[in-house]
Amino acid sequence: MEQGSQSEFFKSIYRLGNKAELLPNGVIGSENVVYGTGDGIPLLMDLYDVAILPSKLRPAMVFIHGGGWAKGDKMTLRNQCIYLAARLGMVAATINYRLTDVARFPQPLHDCKCAIRWMRAHADQLNIDPERIAVAGGSAGGHLAAMVALTPNTPEFEGTGGHEGFSSHANAAVLYNAVTDIAGRALTMGAKPAVTKLLGGEYDQIPDVYRKASPIAYVKRKAPPVLLLHGSEDTTVPCQQAIDMRDAYRHAGEHAEVEIYPGVGHGWFNNAPHFMTTTQRMERFVADRFGLKIPSNRPQEVAAGQR
């Protein structure tokens, strides 16, 4: 990636969203870091960090891409990682995981939990606070992120991809147009082919598997705080899923925040100009939950875009 100033980076993501290809000064990227294995397949992450290692412990975040569990790549959430490193000094990773051409549930979840364990295994090396590790994802990746957050250290969901001596629990979650109730959606709207491939059958054939794969089923006391971002016009994953998840959190007495964005559909958050709006919303949530101070200077391109 080409290197540039922070203001150039912010200007590029304001204009281009996830298509921007600029690494700001002071941030370093390590591509294709092996964080574990899945049935002998190397599992890869791209890791972004500040160039000068801070002396104080700081939070980390793991991003999980979408694509119906069948396609997609870690590169699509790269700029969220870079933003957090540049603005908040965090360590952030975006990961690949086994897709449904070779995997079935819960194997993709095994991989995602392995990435959280990798972060804890490298906490000393990277000056990470092991109790401030968040997970985020969009669409199918949001489903996996929610499952990571709500099923901490659950044996059948852990897998054996590596770093088994470390916990896979997440301390907060950010979910973009996430699938939070696979069973509920199948009952009301039917199961999409991507879901039947992930789970291995239709709802009426394996209802227990659908319920087991639904994050909302695991909401209970001590669930980590969650931010849900969703488009009002999403026909792939209706925004009611985010509202129902918030209500489940409230019923359990735990912290959930929801932002419903009017007039936008599925995957809107990665495209300009919505990329900056949603990323700044994520920044506020992460800073608030992890006790971070947001820099007083707002990214210059936001103001430039309002001229």
pTM above threshold 0.75 = yes
Contact 137, 62 (CB under 8 A): no
Reduced DSSP (H G I as helix, E B as strand, rest coil) percent helix, strand, coil of the chain, to 5:
40, 20, 35
Max distance between CA atoms of the chain, in angstroms, equals: 56
Residue 282 has pLDDT above 70, yes or no: yes
What pLDDT does 300 receive? 55
Residue 191 has pLDDT above 90, yes or no: no
Q: Is 265 exposed, middle or buried (0-12, 13-18, 19+ CB in 10 A)?
A: middle
Mean pLDDT within 205-227? 97
Residue 306 has pLDDT above 90, yes or no: no
Q: How far apart are CA 78 and CA 65, in angstroms?
A: 10
The Cβ-side half-sphere exposure at 262, using a 13 Å CA radius, reads: 0
HEC string of 189-218 equals: HCCCHHHHHHHCCCCCCCHHHHHHCCHHHH
Residue 172 has pLDDT above 50, yes or no: yes
Mean residue pLDDT across the chain: 94
Mean pLDDT within 45-51? 97
Q: How far apart are CA 181 and CA 183, in angstroms?
A: 6
HEC string of 39-57 equals: CCEEEEEEEEEECCCCCCC
Mean pLDDT within 213-242? 97
Contact 185, 241 (CB under 8 A): yes
Domain residue ranges in the chain? 28-305
Residue 303 has pLDDT above 50, yes or no: no
Residue 61 has pLDDT above 70, yes or no: yes
What pLDDT does 298 receive? 76
Residue 12 has pLDDT above 50, yes or no: yes
**Least confident among 15-24, 67-76, 160-169, 183-192:** 183-192
Residue 304 has pLDDT above 90, yes or no: no
Mean pLDDT within 190-213? 93
Which residues are within 8 A (CB) of 234 and not within 5 positions of it... i.e. 6 or more apart? Answer: 177, 264, 265, 266
What pLDDT does 95 receive? 98
What pLDDT does 187 receive? 75
Residue 301 has pLDDT above 60, yes or no: no
Residue 307: pLDDT band with limits 50, 70, 90: very low
The Cβ-side half-sphere exposure at 72, using a 13 Å CA radius, reads: 28
Domain 28-305 has CATH 3.40.50.1820: yes
- The string of pLDDT tens digits covering residues 93-138 is 999 999 999 999 999 999 999 999 999 999 999 999 999 999 999 9
The tokens for 152 are 């901490």
